[in-house]
Amino acid sequence: MPPRMLLCCLALALSGVAQTAPAGTAAFERIKLEAGAKLFDADCRRCHGTEATDKSYGPVLDGIIGRKSGSAPGYAYSSALSEAGIVWTEPALVAWMADNQGLIPGTKMRHVGITDPVEAEFILTYLRSVQPK
Ligand code: HEC
């Protein structure tokens, strides 16, 4: 099975688990983190690093939750993003993953279209785990 399909099955299985298992158990969080890391690698990593020293096409995303938009030091943002003046709260990140061009028209990030709330929650779980060193 291609990895992408495997992830979809995992996501489906887990969305079932999410309704029955007590939320926030350590095992469940670990599974979410693993799934989120895989989704991040598949959908975001080619343009985004998670270490301050990473040089990628997109800005570094360590500590993105709670960070002001357009504020990664030394990154050449589009004027749309540098002037957006928002804070990357979790709901803002979910909206961005679903429709970045709709949230901040004129951004140079290509549309990624993560509209599945389970996938978005997995990626958020991963982003919560990457903090500046
Ligand atoms: C094809 C390359 C590409 C992919 C894939 C991509 N991004 Fe981006 N991303 C960018 C670029 C380029 C920017 C800067 C946009 C600008 O300046 O307008 C950006 C900006 C961002 C920002 C704003 C950062 C800040 O400092 O304000 C966030 C958050 C973000 N991306 C998250 C993601 C997530 C999460 C994914 C995966 C679901 C993803 N991106 C996939 C290229 C990409």
Per-residue pLDDT reduced to its tens digit, 93-111? 999 999 999 999 999 999 9
Amino acid 56: pLDDT: 87
CA distances from 26 to 20, 21, 33, 90 (A): 15, 11, 10, 21
Query: 82: pLDDT confidence band, cut at 50, 70 and 90?
Result: very high
Query: 75: pLDDT confidence band, cut at 50, 70 and 90?
Result: very high
Q: Cα–Cα–Cα angle for 77, 79, 82, nearest 5°?
A: 60
Residue 64: CB partners within 8 Å, gap ≥ 6?
A: 88, 93, 127, 130
Question: In this structure, what token pair is assigned to residue 79?
Answer: 């004027």
Q: Is the CB of 44 under 6 A from ligand 1?
A: yes
Query: 51: pLDDT confidence band, cut at 50, 70 and 90?
Result: confident
Residue 60: CB partners within 8 Å, gap ≥ 6?
A: 48, 49, 50, 51, 52, 54, 72, 75
Quote the ligand 1 centre to 25 CA distance (angstroms).
Answer: 30
Mean pLDDT of the chain: 87
The CATH number covering residue 104 comes to 1.10.760.10
Query: 55: pLDDT confidence band, cut at 50, 70 and 90?
Result: confident
Expressed as residue numbers, the domain containing 41 is: 3-129
Q: Is the CB of 111 under 6 A from ligand 1?
A: no
Domain tally, the chain: 1
Alpha-carbon span 19 to 91, nearest angstrom? 21
pLDDT tens-place string over residues 63-73 = 999 999 999 98
Rounded to the nearest 10 degrees, how much is the dihedral formed by the CA atoms of 8, 36, 92, 113?
A: -40
Q: Residue whose CA is closest, atom 33 of ligand 1?
A: 44
Biggest CA pair distance of the chain: 45
Is the pLDDT at 16 greater than 80, yes or no?
no
